[in-house]
Amino acid sequence: MFEQLAEGALLAFRLDTILMIVIGLFSGMLVGALPGFTTLMAMAILLPLSFFLDPLVGIPFLLGVYKGGIFGGSIPAILVSMPGTGAAVATSIDGYKLTQKGESRKALDVALFSSVIGDTFSDIFTILMIFPIAFLVMQFGPPELFAVLLMSLVIIVATSRSNPLKGLVMMLFGLWLSQVGTDPIGGVERFTFGLFELKSGIPLLPMLIGVFALPELFYAVMRNEKVGGFAKLVGERLSKAEFKRCIPTIRRSTLIGTAIGIVPGLGQVVAAMMGYSAAKNASTHPETFGEGEIEGVAAAEAANNAVNGPTLVPLLTLGIPGDNVTAILLGAFVAQGLRPGPQLFEEQGTVVFGILIAMVIANLMFVVIGYLSIPLFSRIVTIKTGLLVPIVIMFAFAGAYVFRSDTTDILILVVFGVFGLLARAAKFDVMPMVMGFILGSALEYSFGQTVAMAGPSPLSFLFTERLGMLALLIATPIVGYLLWRRMKTAAP
Amino acid sequence: MIWNTLKKAAGAALVATLFLGSSAFAEYPEKPITLVIPFGAGGSHDLNARIITSTIPSHLGQAMIVRLSPGASGQKGTQEVANSAADGYTLLFSHNYVDMLQQHVENLPYDPAKAFVPVARVNYAPIAVVVRGDSKYKTFGDLIDGAKANPGGVAMAHSGNWGALFVPAAQVMKETGAQFNLVPYKGGGPAMQALLSGDAEVTMGFPSVLGPLVQSGKVRVLATAGPDRIYDDVPTFNEAGIKGDIGFMHRVVLAPSGTPKDVLNKLESAFSALQEDKSFNRLMKRMGENTDLLLGDGYQKLRDDQSGAYKTLVDSITK
């Protein structure tokens, strides 16, 4: 294995490989930063390009697009409170507060360093532990997924900014919203009022832009300042001392993200929220979280990037794609004549290790590219209000529309924008609602699967020896402790 | 002098516009064609379409652009194409279950038989019935007997109700009288993972994705769809007594009804030309897909039969 690793490293250190990684990273970052365009779309469009390139050029190129895209998504989340994906929501909590304080450059720096560190360590861990991870992945089925999702939801409520009861109300509302549309298991339409537009459910992107970005724009207009759209300054770069302060947080989030990446079906959204919650609960100054805490940005970004390594494991060891991104990568592998599966490492070990090492190279290149481009991006917020607000409004509406090219989504955007304003006026945190909405459908699906697996007696799954039961048993004391701690500190 | 040149240039430009204008009317395609896929990114339709759209421009003289429009189990994208102009610039890349089965399960905002005409069936994927390598079911007969002895006790993982794995499973159940416990997963990948982890006893899969798992002995194929053997030692559905158009996913390009005949001819000849295209064949072969083309009228016959067969199937399950 180490021989192949060394040969793979030699294969990956090629000028054209590195050049294409750089191009991929940069284009991914631009696409990820534009609301409405997803990394997934960029990868699907660029996939045919990899058909006609060498495997050690084409696949690292796609991986570069992917990695660049994830970071790109956090740029609008930090600068204008416009998270384009669920994974960037946790980043925007403290990221946007930092921007408002005039420290957008620092926020982007923290996001970059913690993303890259989280990603690199999870990649290295994956390369070294690929077979044990492959074994672990197989231990998780729908009952376990359900238990972990349920635990995540309770933790999110417990760490929300408003008081736990308000958080719970918002989460239940989000869970209800996730039910709108066709029932994923039974096929029955729910709460659609017979409208075809609602049949596939409420789209996530217009909701995210609506509840997070539109209220901020409204307040920016209300403040009626002449200079500096969202902030007057871009602030200093991240200092060494500040970075050192973030290290324990980054380490914790990397571990959490990697562990979550092993559970099939959880993904970046859960990782980011769990990383953030854990950092807030472990902190000696939890009150600074949500008010522009650099550790908050670090926690979310390190965790959601650490998911990437382990999610590749089922693809590489069994040829099974767990989600859409890995399905596109599978296409790229197969078109090159590389068939991921149990024998891939025996037959093509050198090439595969070459690709894995190219992932690590991509991370290192990204530090350079990101660091050099952050001053450019961060300057956006200092454009004067009269120009910036209309531009951001345009991007908000265009982004909501291009995502599905559906005019209904513009209406949905406005409805959630108004909702976001009302919630803010009533001091309700929209975060639990959004998380309930995102995780609600996964929660419902895994519950339906569990019931279907149990067969004739639907409650029998509770009394099996499965890990799901264990997870619920572990969850109860953790949640109890968190709620107890919350109750002790005065809730707003 | 300059004036003259200008006048000449203007005249030439005018003539060119007129010429191009009139010739464009006769010469389809004069702008890129959009291929709408009613499913998400990374699925087998997406991957197949990436191969088609990267090779067909040289035979069509125009680019073909993929637009993914997932939602409502494929109905969102299908409706978009049903409502678009029948000028050959918006096509649908779908499969038989979305095309012909859904109308019998729920009320659709379009009538698929009337709204679309087939352009080309690009290829088809025969389904395979698979169990784990260490499963106690050694043959297809063992599996059916096991499911009959314990109705609803054998878990079959599939990729969603009325989808590409569910329908063949339902058809097998209807033909053999066996009863599986059908458990849904979010796609064929997670369903296969459920089989390997032991959550399911049996699943369905396409040979194009099974290759390495079969070779390493992690899974065993018990039967494959169609009359011809795909694996030398694995019986076909026909041999097991399941006959007809069962267990095939046909990937088909459809156009809105009323598309001019010469436009359809142009498209058909471009798809025919792909049969000779080296890159197209090489990439399809690597993906493990066949290139068994069937042009419009030929596929329409299959389509008519599918509608009737699916109606009987749906009635037998839901009533």
Q: What are phi and psi of B275, to 5 degrees?
A: -60, -30
The whole-angstrom separation of Cα B307 and Cα B103 is 9
**Residue B15 pLDDT grade (very low, low, confident, very high; cuts 50, 70, 90):** very low
Q: By percentage, how much of chain B surpasses pLDDT 90?
A: 69
A319 touches chain B (CB under 8 A): yes
- Identify the residue with better confidence: A42 or A232: A42
Final residue belonging to a domain, choices B224, B240, B274 = B224
- Do B71 and B157 have their domain in common? no
Per-residue confidence (pLDDT) for residue A466, from 0 to 100: 62
Q: Can you say whether the dihedral through the CA atoms of B131, B252, B106, B84 is positive or negative?
A: positive
Average pLDDT of the segment spanning A379-385: 83
* pLDDT tens by residue, A395-453: 999 999 988 888 899 999 999 999 999 999 999 999 999 999 999 999 999 888 888 88
Verify whether the Cβ–Cβ distance A341 to B181 is below 8 Å: no
Give chain B's radius of gyration (CA, Å).
Answer: 23
Verify whether the Cβ–Cβ distance B199 to A141 is below 8 Å: yes
* pLDDT tens by residue, B32-88: 999 999 998 888 899 899 999 999 999 999 999 999 888 888 899 999 999 999 999
**Residue B20 pLDDT grade (very low, low, confident, very high; cuts 50, 70, 90):** very low
H helix or E strand, kind and range, residue B124: strand B116-126
**Residue A184 pLDDT grade (very low, low, confident, very high; cuts 50, 70, 90):** confident
Q: By percentage, how much of chain A surpasses pLDDT 90?
A: 47
**Residue A482 pLDDT grade (very low, low, confident, very high; cuts 50, 70, 90):** low
Per-residue confidence (pLDDT) for residue A318, from 0 to 100: 85
B273: domain CATH number is 3.40.190.150
Q: Is A25 helix (H, G, I), strand (E, B) or coil?
A: helix
Per-residue confidence (pLDDT) for residue A3, from 0 to 100: 81
Per-residue confidence (pLDDT) for residue A470, from 0 to 100: 62
Q: By percentage, how much of chain B surpasses pLDDT 70?
A: 92
Per-residue confidence (pLDDT) for residue B262, from 0 to 100: 94
Q: What are phi and psi of A143, to 5 degrees?
A: -60, -40
H helix or E strand, kind and range, residue B197: helix B188-197
- Identify the residue with better confidence: B27 or A95: A95
B171: domain CATH number is 3.40.190.10
**Residue A263 pLDDT grade (very low, low, confident, very high; cuts 50, 70, 90):** confident
Per-residue confidence (pLDDT) for residue A337, from 0 to 100: 83
B73 touches chain A (CB under 8 A): yes
- Do B135 and B117 have their domain in common? no
Q: Chain A residue closest to B285 (CA)?
A: A335
B209 touches chain A (CB under 8 A): yes
Average pLDDT of the segment spanning B193-214: 90
Per-residue confidence (pLDDT) for residue A380, from 0 to 100: 84
ipTM value for the complex: 0.85
**Residue B225 pLDDT grade (very low, low, confident, very high; cuts 50, 70, 90):** very high
* pLDDT tens by residue, B141-175: 999 999 999 988 899 999 888 888 999 999 999 99
Distance from CA of B254 to the nearest CA of A (A): 21
| Token code pair at residue A15 | 């000028």
* pLDDT tens by residue, A46-81: 998 998 898 889 999 999 999 999 899 999 999 999
Does residue B107 lie within any of the structural domains? yes
- Do B68 and B108 have their domain in common? yes
A139 touches chain B (CB under 8 A): yes
**Residue A226 pLDDT grade (very low, low, confident, very high; cuts 50, 70, 90):** low
* pLDDT tens by residue, B265-291: 999 999 999 999 999 999 999 888 999
| Token code pair at residue A356 | 């894995």
Does residue B1 lie within any of the structural domains? no
Apex A334 CA angle, A332 and A340, nearest 5: 105
Per-residue confidence (pLDDT) for residue A125, from 0 to 100: 92
Per-residue confidence (pLDDT) for residue B7, from 0 to 100: 56
| Token code pair at residue A60 | 């690292």
Closest CA to A468 of A153, A154, A151, A143: A143
First to last CA, chain B: 86
B84 touches chain A (CB under 8 A): no
Q: Is B277 helix (H, G, I), strand (E, B) or coil?
A: coil
Confidence check: pLDDT of B19 > 50: no
Q: Is B120 helix (H, G, I), strand (E, B) or coil?
A: strand
Q: Chain A residue closest to B158 (CA)?
A: A449
Q: Chain B residue closest to A403 (CA)?
A: B69
Average pLDDT of the segment spanning A455-461: 62
Does residue B306 lie within any of the structural domains? no
Apex B158 CA angle, B153 and B161, nearest 5: 105
Final residue belonging to a domain, choices B189, B224, B259 = B224
Distance from CA of A314 to the nearest CA of B (A): 8
Verify whether the Cβ–Cβ distance A138 to B194 is below 8 Å: no
Confidence check: pLDDT of B97 > 90: yes
Number of domains chain B is built from: 2
B288 touches chain A (CB under 8 A): yes
Average pLDDT of the segment spanning B203-213: 87
- Cα torsion for A458, A463, A469, A470, to the nearest 10°? -170
Distance from CA of B310 to the nearest CA of A (A): 17
Does residue B4 lie within any of the structural domains? no
Q: For all residues of chain B together, what is the average pLDDT?
A: 89
Per-residue confidence (pLDDT) for residue A459, from 0 to 100: 61
Residue A100 exposure: Cα atoms within 13 Å on the Cβ side:
18
Q: Looking at A218-367, which runs of residues are DSSP E strands?
A: none
Q: Distance of CA A132 to CAs A128, A137, A229, A314, A454, Å? A: 9, 9, 50, 12, 28
- Do B68 and B118 have their domain in common? yes
Confidence check: pLDDT of A491 > 50: no
Confidence check: pLDDT of A469 > 70: no
* pLDDT tens by residue, A333-362: 988 888 888 788 778 888 888 888 898 999
Verify whether the Cβ–Cβ distance A339 to B211 is below 8 Å: yes
B287 touches chain A (CB under 8 A): yes
The whole-angstrom separation of Cα A257 and Cα A341 is 25
Token pair 């990383």: residue: A275
A142 touches chain B (CB under 8 A): yes
Contact A40, A324 (CB under 8 A): yes
Closest CA to A435 of A246, A174, A134: A174
Verify whether the Cβ–Cβ distance B186 to A43 is below 8 Å: no
Residue B285 exposure: Cα atoms within 13 Å on the Cβ side:
7
Q: Chain B residue closest to A441 (CA)?
A: B186
**Residue B301 pLDDT grade (very low, low, confident, very high; cuts 50, 70, 90):** very high
Per-residue confidence (pLDDT) for residue A467, from 0 to 100: 56
Per-residue confidence (pLDDT) for residue B9, from 0 to 100: 54
- Do B214 and B262 have their domain in common? no
Confidence check: pLDDT of B17 > 50: no
The secondary structure of residue B186, as a DSSP letter, is S
Per-residue confidence (pLDDT) for residue B22, from 0 to 100: 43
How many Cβ atoms sit within 10 Å of the Cβ of residue A462?
Answer: 13
Token pair 């919630």: residue: A423
Per-residue confidence (pLDDT) for residue A121, from 0 to 100: 94
Q: By percentage, how much of chain A surpasses pLDDT 70?
A: 91
- Identify the residue with better confidence: B252 or A160: B252
Query: Domains of chain A: which residue ranges?
Result: 2-488
- Identify the residue with better confidence: A460 or B166: B166
Verify whether the Cβ–Cβ distance B287 to A331 is below 8 Å: yes
The secondary structure of residue B18, as a DSSP letter, is H
Distance from CA of B315 to the nearest CA of A (A): 16
Does residue B240 lie within any of the structural domains? no
B47 touches chain A (CB under 8 A): yes
Distance from CA of B6 to the nearest CA of A (A): 42
The whole-angstrom separation of Cα B242 and Cα B228 is 13
Verify whether the Cβ–Cβ distance B42 to A324 is below 8 Å: yes
- Do B115 and B161 have their domain in common? no
The whole-angstrom separation of Cα B174 and Cα B316 is 8
| Token code pair at residue B99 | 């095309």
Apex B250 CA angle, B246 and B253, nearest 5: 155
How many Cβ atoms sit within 10 Å of the Cβ of residue B255?
Answer: 25
Verify whether the Cβ–Cβ distance B76 to A199 is below 8 Å: yes
Distance from CA of B266 to the nearest CA of A (A): 24
Per-residue confidence (pLDDT) for residue B23, from 0 to 100: 43
Tell me which residue range forms the domain holding B113: 31-123+251-300+312-318
Contact B250, B299 (CB under 8 A): yes
Does residue B166 lie within any of the structural domains? yes
Q: Which residues, 6+ apart, have CB-to-CB distance to A318 below 8 Å?
A: A134, A340, A341, A342, B192, B193, B196, B212, B213, B218
How many Cβ atoms sit within 10 Å of the Cβ of residue A486?
Answer: 19
